[in-house]
Amino acid sequence: MNNDDERDSRIQAEVQAARDEYAEEEAEAAETEIAERGATLDVPLNLRIDRDLDDQLKRRAASAQIPTSALVRRLLRESLSGPQTPVMTVEQVEAIARRVLTETR
């Protein structure tokens, strides 16, 4: 086998490895989507978002190797299951306002 044949064989092996990895990732994504659909996903939700948010969601979904719709469902579930307390309480805002008024006099 000469150098060109070895190089061609090595390239073919790398290409095949990349194809196998891609196929595996696609199969996992499909399994995830099927599982989520099987979880009684029977209520469609349509909303309008700006292009920047769309791009962010698509990049994040690609990074997680899941469909964008699955990522959005995950984000919605996480946001609803987290603590429902406001970032600041009314008392904290009022205390800040009093301090600012005092310091500016």
User: Which among 6, 60, 10, 67 has a CA at the least distance from the CA of 34?
Assistant: 67
CB contact set of 57 (below 8 Å; sequence gap of 6+): 49, 68, 71, 72
Structure confidence at residue 51 (pLDDT): 94
Token pair 């990732």 in the structure block, residue: 25
Residue 4 CB-half CA count within 13 A? 0
Domain ranges of the chain: 1-43, 44-105
HSE toward the beta carbon, residue 89, CA cutoff 13 A: 3
Output the pTM of the full model.
0.46
How confident is the prediction along the chain (105 residues), in pLDDT tens digits per residue? Answer: 678 888 888 899 999 988 888 888 887 777 777 766 666 667 788 889 999 999 999 999 999 888 888 889 889 888 888 777 667 888 888 999 998 888 887
Phi, psi of 90 (to 5 degrees): -60, -40
